[in-house]
Amino acid sequence: MSPRIVLLPGDGIGPEIIGPAVKVMNAVGAELDYEERLFGGASIDAYGTALTDETLDACRQADAVLLAAVGGPRWDTTDPDKPRPEQGLLGLRKGLGLFANLRPVKPIPALYDSSPLKRELIDRTNLLVVRELTGGIYFGEKTRTRDRASDDCVYTRSEIERIAQVAFRTARSRVTSVDKANVLETSRLWREVVREVHGREFPNIELEHLLVDNAAMKLIAAPRHFEVILTENMFGDILSDEAAMLTGSIGMLPSASLGDGQPGLFEPVHGSAPDIAGTGQANPLAMILSAAMMLRHGLGMETQAAAVESAVERALAAGLRTRDLGGTANTKQATQAVLKHL
Ligand code: IPM
Ligand code: MG
């Protein structure tokens, strides 16, 4: 039986970029069974909630979930009682227990000049953000009255241990743990537990601690310094967008969210880009590279994953540039270029 994949196109450019990813997987010979579901704003419009129980169940029973993007001005609200598309994403991450978010950042030489940073600065950068995804301020208790609001930030020892283990296991030589231990109590526990896991299980990997403000600066000043960045939920969210600019465009960055045996979730780091939705101009490369991560981490199809990644690189080397990269190629042309190099 072929592995079963739930496709969640979501909103905005989502439906325009998920088709290209499926085309590329077909072309690389990955035989998969797809089931498509409404998600995010599209699901709010149809069912009044961003993630229905049926969709969550379908995802639980699948071998992997491929998600494009959610959100848009249509559903933007500051009313705490109205549903938001992002709740679907958070519900899915939590519901599937996907605590480990992997965001590789490896600028492609053909795109060095698309980055706002100097070529010699980004040259040979190859880092991985390991972001804790189901804890911290994203999931703590929230309160709201007319004049006061709060978001609780909570981390437990076991939550920190398991994400630290993912980071150390993935690292070849160095893990940089990022926190705000000079201010936050959660960060002090974070630092203590990361240190313990390191000493007990991974003494041969170098461990350094950086405060998040300093890490944000160093990421731009000396990106090559980093190999694996281990950090909590919100710091990881912010640092991964920052790191995306090393590659020239956030339209290039894929991600994998993994749990402990549950089906993984694979999605681009970028959002639903409502400003260009419907124009056919979206860059599908992060989506296609997310499908490659699904083949590798979710389905154990390393050969096919590597073939897709190499086709993307060669298409770029041959001159493919979508609008976000300063070129004119539309979604269709970008997909064709990747297929041609497969
Ligand atoms: C991301 C996104 C999400 C996050 C939003 C859409 C909830 O920014 O995946 O980085 O903050 O985690
Ligand atoms: Mg983000």
Report how far residue 205's alpha carbon sits from residue 166's, in angstroms, rounded to the nearest whole number. 13
Contact of 342 with 307, CB cutoff 8 Å: yes
Residues 1-97+264-342: name the CATH superfamily.
Isopropylmalate Dehydrogenase (3.40.718.10)
Active site residue 237: yes
User: What is the tens place of the pLDDT at every residue in 273-301?
Assistant: 999 999 999 999 999 999 999 999 999 99
* Residue 242 beta carbon below 6 angstroms from any ligand 1 atom: no
Tokens of 175: 């893990």
Give the count of beta carbons closer than 10 Å to the beta carbon of residue 200: 9
Lowest-pLDDT choice from 246-250, 321-325, 330-334: 246-250
User: What is the tens place of the pLDDT at every residue in 41-86?
Assistant: 999 999 999 999 999 999 999 999 999 999 999 999 988 889 999 9
* Residue 89 beta carbon below 6 angstroms from any ligand 1 atom: yes
Question: 25, 150, 11, 142: which is closest to 89 by C-alpha?
Answer: 11
What residue segments make up the domains of the chain, in order of their start?
Answer: 1-97+264-342, 116-247
Atom of ligand 1 nearest to the CA of 234: 11
The mean predicted confidence, pLDDT, of the chain is 96
The DSSP bridge pattern shows strands 149-151 and 142-144 to be antiparallel
Report how far residue 299's alpha carbon sits from residue 65's, in angstroms, rounded to the nearest whole number. 11
User: 271 C-alpha vs ligand 1 centroid, how far in Å?
Assistant: 8
* Residue 86 beta carbon below 6 angstroms from any ligand 1 atom: yes
Report how far residue 133's alpha carbon sits from residue 266's, in angstroms, rounded to the nearest whole number. 13
Q: Does 115 have pLDDT greater than 90? A: no
Residues with CB under 5 Å of ion ligand 2 are 237
Catalytic position from the list 47, 94, 151, 241:
241
The DSSP bridge pattern shows strands 100-105 and 64-69 to be unpaired
Active site residue 241: yes
Q: Which residue's C-alpha comes closest to atom 10 of ligand 1?
A: 237
Any idea what DSSP says for residue 3? P
Q: Does 1 have pLDDT greater than 90? A: no
| E-assigned strand segments in the chain | 4-10, 33-36, 64-69, 100-105, 127-132, 142-144, 149-151, 174-179, 206-211, 228-231, 254-258, 264-268
Q: Does 249 have pLDDT greater than 90? A: no
Active site residue 147: no
Contact of 209 with 179, CB cutoff 8 Å: yes
The DSSP bridge pattern shows strands 100-105 and 33-36 to be unpaired
* Residue 96 beta carbon below 6 angstroms from any ligand 1 atom: no
Active site residue 123: no
Place of tokens 């297929």: 339
Q: Which residue's C-alpha comes closest to atom 5 of ligand 1?
A: 86
Radius of gyration of the chain (CA): 20
Q: Let me know if domain 116-247 sits in CATH 3.40.718.10.
A: yes
Q: Which ligand minimizes its atom distance to the CA of 88?
A: 1
User: 203 C-alpha vs ligand 1 centroid, how far in Å?
Assistant: 33
Contact of 177 with 202, CB cutoff 8 Å: no
* Residue 92 beta carbon below 6 angstroms from any ligand 1 atom: no
Cβ neighbors of 104 (< 8 A, separation 6 or more) are 126, 127, 128, 129, 253, 254
pLDDT band at 97 (very low <50, low <70, confident <90, very high): very high
Q: Which ligand minimizes its atom distance to the CA of 265?
A: 1
Give the count of beta carbons closer than 10 Å to the beta carbon of residue 303: 11
Task: Give the global pTM.
Answer: 0.94
Atom of ligand 1 nearest to the CA of 89: 7
Active site residue 45: no
The predicted pLDDT at position 298 comes to 93
Residue range 191-218: mean pLDDT, rounded: 98
Catalytic position from the list 11, 112, 138, 179:
138
User: What is the tens place of the pLDDT at every residue in 125-139?
Assistant: 999 999 999 999 999
User: 333 C-alpha vs ligand 2 centroid, how far in Å?
Assistant: 27
